[in-house]
Amino acid sequence: QVQLVESGGGLVQAGDSLRLSCAASGRTLSTYGMGWFRQAPGKEREFVAAISRGGTTTSVADSVKGRFTISRDNAKNTMYLQMNSLKPEDTAVYYCAAARPYVYGIPSNFDSWGRGTQVTVSS
């Protein structure tokens, strides 16, 4: 099973940018479709973005479309989430996740999860 570790979170002001990273170990990242999710205090976890194994297909939630970009570098075994024009409502713990191995296209189910990284956006 793949192990996932998120990094790059922090405290920023509204309008700022952050780039989150998700480093994979244990197995080759290109085996997995990947995704980002977030959970704000008192709210359910929600989908943010997903990317296919080769990185050619992506999906982004409407709430972040035009501001967030998901990407991956399989040679570095790392996935990224570039977050621009951050808003206070983006404040949450952000999790990366991996689907089952060898799923084609954008995955809809995720089996492996990181522990999350906190993003806090002040107004």
Nearest by Cα to 71 from 87, 99, 52, 91: 52
Q: List 81's β-bridge partners, or say none.
A: 20, 70
One-letter amino acid for residue 108 of the chain: S
- Return the pLDDT at 43: 97
Kindly tell me if the per-residue pLDDT of 37 is higher than 90.
yes
The whole-number pLDDT of residue 103 equals: 87
Q: What percent of the chain has pLDDT over 70?
A: 100
Q: What is the 3-state secondary structure (H, E, C) of the chain?
A: CCEEEEECCEEEECCCCEEEEEEEECCCHHHEEEEEEEECCCCCCEEEEEECCCCCCEEECCCCCCCEEEEEEHHHCEEEEEECCCCHHHCEEEEEEEEEECCCCCCCCCCEECCCEEEEEEC
Please report the pLDDT score of residue 1 as a whole number.
82
User: Residue 98 has what pLDDT?
Assistant: 97
Q: What pLDDT is recorded for position 27? A: 86
For 22-51, what is the mean pLDDT? 95
Contacts of 42 (CB under 8 A, 6+ apart): none
What is the pLDDT confidence band of residue 116, given thresholds at 50, 70 and 90? very high
